[in-house]
Structure 1
Amino acid sequence: MRCFQGPILLVLLLAWMPACPGRPSGAQPDDSADTRAQALKQLLEVFGMEGTPQLPQRIPEPPQYMVDLYNTVAGDDGVTKDPDLLEGNTVRSYLDRTHSDQMHFLFILSSMAKNERVLTAELHLFKLKARAADGQLLMRQHFCQVSVYQVLDKENLDSPDGKKLLSARLLAVQGSGWEIFAITEAVRDWAEEETSNQGLLVTVRGLGGAEMDSSTVQFASGRDHHESKKPMLVLFTDDGRRGATLATNSFSGTSQQNAILPEPLTSPKFNRTRNARSVDTPLPCQKHPLFVDFEEIGWAGWIISPRGYNAYHCRGSCPFPLGQNMRPTNHGTVQSIINALKLSQVVTGPCCVPDKLYSINLLYFDDDENVVLKQYSDMVAGSCGCH
């Protein structure tokens, strides 16, 4: 029987560690550039990526909304505070691609995976302070109606089939700050048929329906305003990769080590450590630190947060008889008894494995320089037991 030592992302990276009973002690990976490349390739697959994003030398500032959202759902180490805080497991942000000073916006969703299910889509616009044409701060109209349309035919916007109303509400003329409009219906259409994406149109009218001076109520554009105020589409999706063991988490790792990849297996340090363990009394099953450092593996350029996290791993013996401090399953207890009584030649003792796993969150840039917040299940060993 082979025993699984830790979260799936570390299958290759942890292959050098002492094995559970029954694992061939001579099975060691070839410590070469090919092994490292294969390990990082599998790590990318765990994160649902085909390759590392290629970014320009000047990396843009991430939208503050995405940074604040990450800090809301994740601790400093990326471990999820509460899995129910996030709708789905992926949040993508897209900046307007028109760079126009008009109220027409275009967001390209090419980076969204085909298997992602659209849950909610929001248009985030920053409303600027009102400017009266005559310089007066007080205006006769205190409210305006802002409407957001899905463009169906940009050549015939005024025709009945030229646009579709998505969201409309009253806003204070004098107010300023971020305004959020629901546009889920449009984004679902674009996800099904990419060529249907002709953008969004925003109109501003008075309470009676009359057009208002364009200088009175304005939203920040993608051309003339700071990046922190650019129009943005925020998309909440789920890619179906949530694990069954995801649990509410009050756990946060504090112990950190500074390396992710093991030393060469032939190094004197490794051999001394392995030999010492063979003669010393084995430690009981327990959790040990294992810090995954994104800078060490060359990923710091595109991962915004965290810089690394403590995945932890389980190591130690599961001696007969198993006490409750070993957190055994009933199956593990029976297996321990069968092995101790030597009732079977093929049944080994139970293994020290994670019995509680937590999710982590990554905030990163994709290939199109969009900022993505993604939650990955079963990435941190919360506790260990004999199974």
Structure 2
Amino acid sequence: MLTSAIWISVMGLAVCRPPANHLESESEEVRSEAIRRLLEVFGMEDPPAALARGHKQPPQYMLDLYNTIADVDGVTKDPTLLEGNTVRSFFDKLHSDQIEFLFNMSTVAKSEKILTAELHLFKLRPQASLAFNRHHFCQVRRLQSAEKTARRRKDLLRVNRCSGVFLTQVSVYQVLESGRKNVSQGKKLLSSRLVPIHSSGWEVFTITQAVRSWMSDEGSNLGLLVSVRTLAGLQMDLKTVRFASGRDHHHSKQPMLVLFTDDGRRAASLEVMPKGSEDAPARPSLPFPSMPLSAAARRSARSIDYDESGEKMPCQRLPLYVDFEEIGWSGWIVSPRGYNAYHCKGSCPFPLGQNMRPTNHATVQSIINALKLTKGIETPCCVPDKLFSINLLYFDDDENVVLKQYDDMVAGSCGCH
């Protein structure tokens, strides 16, 4: 009889306990859903493919830009430093011997607002010391004449001796017809300016008009053409004024298109802010699947405002580190490797002091709770009352480097609301 009872008990436990593979499956589903929701926060449907080649380096310009607007944890230093909330870099796909370039912009969403587009070209020094005709390379400028002369001739054209600096006219054109690149009707002037012949370094040209037209009609993207001429209008030898190409020069000097956009995912301001605090953005958090709390979880929720000694812990900000490597994203994120999101924890007991940064509503709720005037009224909650943005520098699926700013990612301070 006793043996039968033990056997029945064992069988009952076997029936009640879920199989191990079921628990693993449930855990994997939760993780998958959590990662999917986190991707939504970062505005992605799927994570970019991790780079298989470890030698792939982001452009120095993008690294410098990231370090200018973000601290070591990726938190934005000054929200006004970045135009829009997204910066994308594209490398030239043609690798031509001529000064012509083509950039694949298929990764840019149609919904993104194009703010500014720049063509970055690295100018090399001339291959050899060449003798130049001063008349062709000295800038003609308009000078104001002396007072007496100004009455007769207000403007006087003179040739500037350039002080030994020879200049050339560099112009960037949008190609309109692929078969007529060298014909004036087959191209459109985007930007033009004077550049010293013997200089070296990055030259930046604004090409916003072309990129906007490419975004409205993808088939119109036939590339860019750069023309180099003397001030007298003569075509120059490419050996005299040279720009680095993606085929023959180091990746750090490759021609690059830099695009500043806004994806429209701006956060709304907090509806209620503590007196004296600055406005801070707040986007509603994405809801996770509703799951019933176990008894242990309910007990944990009730004890959340107590420290290890059993004393009530006042509302305060505590660390909450998000490690991108643990999530599995380190293969495509350049910086930061993770960041401290912080979280708010603690009680908001009556009476609420100003150190609790309470809103007026929270103060009234605290009073009603203390006086027991209405049943079911809880004490105010400890929540973030100031939120900061972070910046991610990462590779997209086409191995372009993207700098993106995300609002409401870090709890700057906590208060009773």
Shorter-chain TM band: 0.7 to 0.9
Match of 2:38 in 1: 43
Select the structure with the greater relative contact order (CA < 8 A; seq sep ≥ 6).
Answer: 1
Take 2:318 and 2:308, find their aligned partners in 1: how far apart are those partners?
18
Q: Closer, same or farther in 2 for the Cα pair 1:214/1:191, shift >3 Å?
A: same
Take 2:357 and 2:380, find their aligned partners in 1: how far apart are those partners?
11
**Alignment size in residue pairs:** 338
Take 1:120 and 1:241, find their aligned partners in 2: how far apart are those partners?
18
Aligned with residue 366 of structure 2, among 332, 336, 339? 336
The structure number with the bigger radius of gyration is: 2
Take 1:332 and 1:32, find their aligned partners in 2: how far apart are those partners?
37
What is the CA RMSD across the aligned residues, in angstroms? Answer: 2.5
Take 1:248 and 1:366, find their aligned partners in 2: how far apart are those partners?
34
Take 1:143 and 1:47, find their aligned partners in 2: how far apart are those partners?
46
Q: Does 1:154 align with 2:178?
A: yes
Cα deviation, 1:227-272, whole Å, max 9, x if unaligned, reads: 00000000000111122349989xxxxxxxxxxxxxxx999xx98x
Take 1:191 and 1:218, find their aligned partners in 2: how far apart are those partners?
30
Cα deviation, 1:323-355, whole Å, max 9, x if unaligned, reads: 111100011111111222222224322100000
Q: Does 1:127 align with 2:123?
A: yes
Aligned with residue 195 of structure 2, among 171, 179, 190? 171
Cα deviation, 1:69-98, whole Å, max 9, x if unaligned, reads: 000000000000000000000000000011
Cα deviation, 1:101-141, whole Å, max 9, x if unaligned, reads: 21110011111122210000000000011124xxx355344
Match of 2:57 in 1: 61
Alignment of 1:1-387 (within 5 A): 32-59=27-54, 60-132=56-128, 136=129, 139-140=132-133, 141=137, 142-245=166-269, 280-387=310-417
Equivalent pair of 1:151/1:163 in contact (CA under 8 Å): yes
**Structure 1: where are the runs of 5+ without partners?**
1-29, 250-264
Take 1:343 and 1:114, find their aligned partners in 2: how far apart are those partners?
55
Equivalent residue of 1:189, what SS? helix
Equivalent residue of 2:243, what SS? coil
Cα deviation, 1:179-223, whole Å, max 9, x if unaligned, reads: 000000000111111111111000100110001112100101111
Equivalent pair of 1:122/1:180 in contact (CA under 8 Å): yes
Equivalent residue of 2:67, what SS? helix
Deviates most, 97-106 or 176-185: 97-106
TM-score of the aligned structures, taking structure 1 as reference length: 0.82
Take 1:333 and 1:274, find their aligned partners in 2: how far apart are those partners?
22
AA aligned opposite 2:46: G
TM-score of the aligned structures, taking structure 2 as reference length: 0.77
Deviation at 1:159, TM superposition (A): 3.8
Q: Closer, same or farther in 2 for the Cα pair 1:319/1:248, shift >3 Å?
A: closer
Equivalent residue of 1:170, what SS? strand
Structure with more of its chain in helix, by fraction: 2
Take 2:373 and 2:123, find their aligned partners in 1: how far apart are those partners?
75
Equivalent pair of 2:344/2:382 in contact (CA under 8 Å): yes
